[in-house]
Structure 1
Amino acid sequence: MFDYEACLSACARGDQQALRRLYEQDSSHLLGVALRIVRDKGLAEDVVHDAFIKIWNGAAGFDLSRGSARGWMFSITRHLALNIVRNAGREIALSQAHEPHAEPAETFEFTARSGQIHTCLAHLDPARRRCILHAYVDGYSHSEIAEKLGTPLGTIKAWIKRSLAALRECMA
C-alpha cells in the first residue's frame, strides 16, 4: 500500500524523491481527472504540472484530520482544472461580447448551457449524482466508486449509464 501521508511529510521536509514517488504513483490518475475537466491534453498536462508545484509548496500545510493525502492531491488538481474552465468561460463570454460580429444569442446560449448542467445534476437522485461526480470530476473508476459507496459494481454501472442518459436528455 502506497503511503501518501509519509510522502507528503517528506515533501514538507524538502525531500524531492518523495515528490517523484508521488508523481510516479498518481500523475496519470491526476492527468485523467484534469483531462475530463479541461478536455484538452496540453491544458491537462499544465494543470498536473501546476498541481505538483502546489503539492510541493503546500505539503507542510496538509492536515490529515481534514481528509486523506491522496484526496487532497486530487482536490488540488480538480480546483486548478475547474479554475481554467471557469476562466476560459469568462474569456469566451467577454471576447464574444466585445466582438462586433458576435451574436448576442450565441453568448447567451453559452452562458445558459454552462449553468444548465448544474440544474440537470440537481434533478438526479443524490446517490446517482455522487456516482457521476465521482466518475467525471474525481476520476474514479466504476469499481472505486462501488467500493467507496459500498454498492455493488453492477448497480454503479447501471446508475451511471441511466444518469448519463438523463443528463443528455435534460441538456437537449
Structure 2
Amino acid sequence: MELRQQDVTEPENELLSRVAGGDRDAFERLYQATASRLLGICLRLVPDRGEAEDILQDVYVAAWRKAPQFDPLRSSATVWLGSIARHRAIDRLRASSAQIDQAPIALAETQPDPAPAPAHQAEADSERARLDDCIGRLEPRRRTLIRTAFFDGATYEELATRSGSPLGSVKSWIRRGLQQLRACLEG
C-alpha cells in the first residue's frame, strides 16, 4: 500500500488548520512544537543567534498571516514552515549582502585599509629580497643558526644542544653572522 500525503496525519497539520481560523492557543502550541526545528534551519543559514531569532519571529508572523493558504495535501505543516524559515533566512542574507555592496563610497575614505600602500609593499618586498640575498651569502652553519634562533625562537643553549657544538662557539658564530648581515645590508 502506497502512503499518500493526505494519509499522514501530523499534529502540526491540525494545529496549523486551527491557526488559519484564528485560534491563538493552537498558534502557541504550534510554536512550541516547531520552534526549535525552525530555529535550527535559521541558524544553519545565519549563524548569528540574534539574527536567527529575528528571522524565526518573521516566520511565525508569516505563518499567522498565511495559515489559510496551507494545504495539507501538498505538504506537511513542518515542511511548509521549514520552507518559510529557509526562504526568510536566505532573504535576510541577500539583504545584508546588498547593504554591504551598496555602502556609500564616502564611507570608504573613512575606513582604514589594513593592507600596506603599494609603495610600502614594494619597498618591503625589496628589503626582503635584499635580506634573503645577504642571508644566502652566509656560511651554511651560521645561516642555519641565525634562522633557527630568530624564526623558531630557539635559545643559544637549545642551538648548542641541537648542533652538538659548545655554547661559546654557537654564540660566536651567531654574533659573526649578524655582523656579516649588518655589513651586507648597509653596503
Pairwise TM-score range, normalised by the shorter structure: 0.5 to 0.7
Would you say the 8 A contact 2:10–2:76 is kept in 1?
A: no
Matched with 2:63 is: 55
Question: Does residue 1:77 correspond to 2:85, yes or no?
Answer: yes
Number of the residue aligned with 1:141: none
The structure 2 residue matched to 1:99, chosen from 93, 104, 107, is 107
Contact 2:12 2:33 (C-alpha < 8 Å) held by counterparts? no
Structure 2 equivalent of residue 7 of structure 1: 15
Query: In structure 1, how many angstroms separate the alpha carbons of the residues matched to 2:34 and 2:50?
Result: 18
**In structure 1, how many angstroms separate the alpha carbons of the residues matched to 2:10 and 2:73?**
19
Of 44, 53, 56 in structure 2, the residue corresponding to residue 36 of structure 1 is 44
Secondary structure of 1:44's aligned partner: helix
How far 1:97 sits from its partner (Å)? 5.2
Task: Give the RMSD, CA atoms, in angstroms.
Answer: 2.0
TM superposition shift of 1:64? 2.1
User: Could you say if the C-alpha distance between residues 33 and 98 of structure 1 is closer, same or farther in structure 2, counting changes exceeding 3 Å?
Assistant: farther
Render the CA deviation track for 1:7-37: whole Å, top value 9, x for unaligned.
Answer: 0110011111111111111101111111111
Aligned AA (2:25): Q
Aligned residue type for 1:93:
D
Unaligned runs of 5+ in 1: 104-172
- Paired with 2:10 and 2:17, the residues of 1 have a C-alpha distance of 14
How far apart are the structure 2 equivalents of 1:97 and 1:83?
Answer: 24
For 1:145, the equivalent position in structure 2 comes to none
Structure 1 or 2: more helix by fraction: 1
* Paired AA for residue 64 in structure 1: P
> For residues 96 and 35 of structure 1, do their structure 2 counterparts lie closer, same or farther at Cα, with a shift above 3 Å needed?
farther
Q: Which has the larger radius of gyration?
A: 2
Task: Give 2:75's match in structure 1, choosing from 60, 67, 72.
Answer: 67
Structure 2: state its 5+ residue gaps: 1-8, 113-187
TM-score by length of structure 1 reads 0.55
| Aligned partner of residue 31 in structure 2, secondary structure | helix
What letter matches 2:18 in structure 1? Answer: A
In structure 1, distance between residues paired with 2:102 and 2:51:
21
SS of residue paired to 1:51:
helix
Map 1:14-29 to 2 at 5 A: 14-29=22-37
CA distance in 2, matches of 1:98, 1:63: 50
Task: Please say if residues 45 and 89 of structure 2, whose CA atoms lie closer than 8 Å, have aligned partners that are also in contact.
Answer: yes
- Supply the AA of the counterpart residue of 2:40: G
